[in-house]
Chain A
């Protein structure tokens, strides 16, 4: 396990180092699919330069990073490449401890295995299968072209991914304090990880064998504790950021920017085209609608998946990276790294061919249509938006397909693999 992992690390570092030194680095760092106004490296450098000139970096619409990022990059701006190469490996840590996931699951099944029908044994995963999952997750993340592009472009999306990955790691390890602090840090970076509070809470409740019953006091006790850790660390971090620069400028610049979407540079998300042609008096309404869309799925999904918080985390991260206001391919890479963890669902996936074709084709077409639109002048923004729509459609289809597969597997586990209708003929499952 250690040897293949080391080999993988060496390969990943080599690829990134080669690309950093080549002329492609500049080309990639200007692509709109890879960098967004929130996490472009060019803007970080600009903000730090402004700070050196004695001006607040948040003046003007250039810099949208949080003050802790300023602190981090102030000392490492010359070694930025190393910072960005190191950060994906945090996600790697996560994979090494996905083993804890299967340990946990085995524990759960041991309790309930007598409830499972006999023919379901083939659905359960053996430890041998699960042995290679961490390596596969590491490979999926480190060698994913999206991650490599994001890293070479020095987009701070990689750091955000690292924080989210560390958060998941700490959650799975069981440390509520660290998980709360890291979730606060992730929320502080971009607000959307707020929705990960629910799955983390559910995980801890399950781990501590507290049933999710709104009337039990033990539930409320733990919830309040966790919420207190989370909110408290968020307040502390925000206060610290205030003391860094001595002003509250960063709140409208970072959070106001994320929520009100003033910058409509095209990216792979859904916001820009819509708001480019929006009348001013509808703008507030549609901003609210679009932003609620991200947070909206938390409660229903938590209710449905309250026994399966890890899958819920995956779903939430996918929903965030599809519906957030400035997505980049780095966000997509984060949830794609999880896919090997659900490799046992492969037999239940229905649309995997379509989804992979759509995602591959769209990834190839993004630069083509951008060139046609901006440089050749023979296309227009509709072409690019069509590909954006298709890409997001593919992602949504992927996520909903995995959801279906997961639920179907759970259904099979409780009701047997070969389903029969009342009169004995073979039945099919439909997701309603």
Chain B
């Protein structure tokens, strides 16, 4: 009976685990990671985005499901003393720019218009797949924005800005077009909480690095490179994510605790009122990783063979062997109408006649008939 009880308890636990395992409704994961500022002194924004990219990729989201938008190229910037690297920790401990980084929108392509078009899917038909967010209604999307922002806006490329209302409307468009199942929005800018104030679509969860009226601060400068390498919030977010692995059960409540005010100086904020599940039941890997639902079974399964056995020939009499020919499978001549061979254009005969008659007339008028006898 002890064993029975244990067995029942075991199955019960398994059942809840299994129930929990299937409680999220998503089947695929997407990530849109955007760095909105250019120039060398905004190195840290690129490093922020690349560290989230690295975590997301490590946890299983493939490049085909990541839209990475970097407004400037730090790795190959002329001022980078260590070319082809972007470091996130000082003393160059961690290079987040490996040799497999795939940037989808680079440089001047990172604009408000392109960002909104990626989100809503309204891209011209010539856009390649790598630049599209091909999510469906079973996709969990992680959106990470970093750069310079203010109360209600985020600055793109030092020349334009996106407002929180535009962002909220874009997410509403995505909801109406069923482009996401659940969406996690993380923003690391000054006064970042203002960007998620206006959201009104369901299944959105948002995190920001600072409240309205506060600035998000950068973490450490590296004296060899000469600029600040990361922002505080993303630095601690990266440290947190380094502990996460695809099977980890860490949930969103742990994410909300990342970078408290003692470490970050600014107060991180979050918004969960639009989200239908309890944040405690939402796994980190639901958004940051691409954990596939795999069902393991120990039973054998018979696959029915689609190939039919050959028909037995009956009789042993003389079998007429027909000469084998290829069937004309595609009667080309009937399908494609032959285009008539193009005839070159020729000037009409009347024209040629008229023109040369006139030329001859003028010639003889000028030079007189007496020259004719020299010709003939």
A26-63 CB mask vs B (1 if < 8 Å, else 0) is 00000000000000000000001001111000000000
A78 to chain B, nearest CB (A): 12
Q: How far is the CB of B128 from chain A (nearest CB, A)?
A: 26
Q: Which of A163-183 contact B (CB under 8 A)?
A: 175, 177-178, 181
Contact with A along B333-376 (1 / 0, CB 8 A): 00000000010111110110011001000100110000000000
| A177 to B365 CA separation, bound complex (whole angstroms) | 9
Given contacts A52-B342, A52-B344, A53-B342, is CB(A240)–CB(B362) below 8 Å? no
Q: Is the interface of B mostly helix, strand, loop or mixed?
A: helix
Contacts A177-B365, A178-B362, A181-B362: A71 and B347 contacting too (C-beta < 8 A)? yes
Tell which of B347, B354, B362 touches A74, judged by Cβ atoms closer than 8 Å: B347
CB distance from B346 to the nearest CB of A (A): 8
Closest CB in chain A relative to B260 CB, distance in Å? 48
A249 CB, nearest partner CB in chain B, Å: 15
Per-residue B-contact encoding for A242-279, CB less than 8 Å = 1, 0 else: 01101000000000000000000000000000000000
Point out the residues of chain A lying under 8 angstroms from B347, CB to CB. 70-71, 74, 244
Assess whether B362 is in contact with A243, with CB atoms less than 8 Å apart.
no
| Complex alpha-carbon distance, A236 and B359, angstroms | 12
Let me know if B345 and A52 touch, CB within 8 A. Answer: yes
B366 touches A71 (CB 8 A): no
Q: B362 — nearest CB in chain A belongs to which residue? A: A181
- Cβ B366 vs Cβ A175 within 8 A: yes
Instruction: Report the minimum CB–CB distance from B349 to chain A (whole Å).
Output: 10
A178 surroundings in chain B (CB, below 8 A): 362, 366
Residues on A with C-beta less than 8 A from B362 are: 177-178, 181
Complex Cα spacing A52 to B343, Å = 7
Among residues of A, the one whose C-beta sits closest to the C-beta of B359 is A181
Complex-state Cα separation, A53 to B350, whole angstroms: 22
In the complex, chain A residues whose CB is within 8 Å of the CB of B354: 240, 243
Measured between alpha carbons, how far is A204 from B189 in the docked complex, in Å? 85
Specify which of B342, B348, B365 is in contact with A243 (CB 8 Å cutoff): B348
B366 contacts across to A, CB distance below 8 A: 175, 177-178
Q: Are B365 and A71 in contact (CB under 8 A)?
A: no
What chain B residues lie within 8 Å of A48 (beta carbons)?
345
Do the beta carbons of A236 and B358 come within 8 Å of each other?
yes
A240–B345 CB distance below 8 A: no
From B348, B358, B365, give the contact of A244 (CB < 8 A). B348
Q: Tell me, in angstroms, the Cα distance from A208 to B205 when the chains sit together.
A: 99
Q: Residue-by-residue, is A77-113 near B (CB-CB < 8 Å gives 1, otherwise 0)?
A: 0000000000000000000000000000000000000
Rounded to whole Å, the gap between the CB of A188 and the closest CB of chain B is 13
B368 CB to closest chain A CB, in angstroms? 12
Residues of the B chain whose Cβ atoms lie less than 8 Å from the Cβ of A175: 366
Query: Which residue of chain B lies nearest to A181 when distances are taken between CB atoms in the complex?
Result: B362
CB–CB B351/A74 < 8 A = no
The complex places the Cα of A155 from the Cα of B208 at a distance, in Å, of 64
- A244 close to B345 (CB less than 8 A): no
Instruction: Give the distance to chain A from B90, nearest Cβ to Cβ, in Å.
Output: 38
What's the least CB distance linking A90 to chain B, in Å? 16
A236 to B358 alpha-carbon distance, docked (Å): 9
| C-alpha spacing A243/B342, complex, angstroms | 22
Q: Do A51 and B355 touch across chains, with their CB atoms under 8 A apart?
A: no
Of B342, B347, B350, most A-chain CB atoms within 10 Å? B347
Across the interface, which residues of B come within 8 angstroms of A177, CB to CB?
362, 365-366
A-chain residues with CB within 8 Å of residue B351 when the two chains form the complex: 71, 240, 243-244
Query: Whose C-beta in chain A lies nearest to the C-beta of B353?
Result: A243
Q: Chain B residues with Cβ under 8 A from A246's Cβ? A: 348
Q: Quick one: CB contact mask for B37-54 with A, threshold 8 Å, 1 for yes? A: 000000000000000000
Q: Which residues of A contact B344 (CB under 8 A)?
A: 52
- Going nearest first, the 7 A-B pairs with the smallest beta carbon separation are A51-B345, A243-B351, A244-B351, A52-B345, A52-B344, A71-B347, A178-B366
Q: Which residues of B contact A (CB under 8 A)?
A: 342, 344-348, 350-351, 354-355, 358, 362, 365-366
Having A54-B345, A71-B355, A240-B354, one finds 14 other A-B pairs with CB under 8 Å, namely A48-B345, A51-B345, A71-B347, A74-B346, A74-B347, A175-B366, A178-B362, A178-B366, A240-B355, A240-B358, A243-B348, A243-B350, A243-B351, A244-B347
Q: List 30 interface pairs A-B (beta carbons < 8 Å), by A numbering.
A: A48-B345, A52-B342, A52-B344, A53-B342, A54-B342, A54-B345, A70-B347, A71-B347, A71-B355, A74-B345, A74-B346, A74-B347, A175-B366, A177-B362, A177-B365, A177-B366, A178-B366, A236-B358, A240-B351, A240-B354, A240-B355, A240-B358, A243-B348, A243-B350, A243-B351, A243-B354, A244-B347, A244-B348, A244-B351, A246-B348
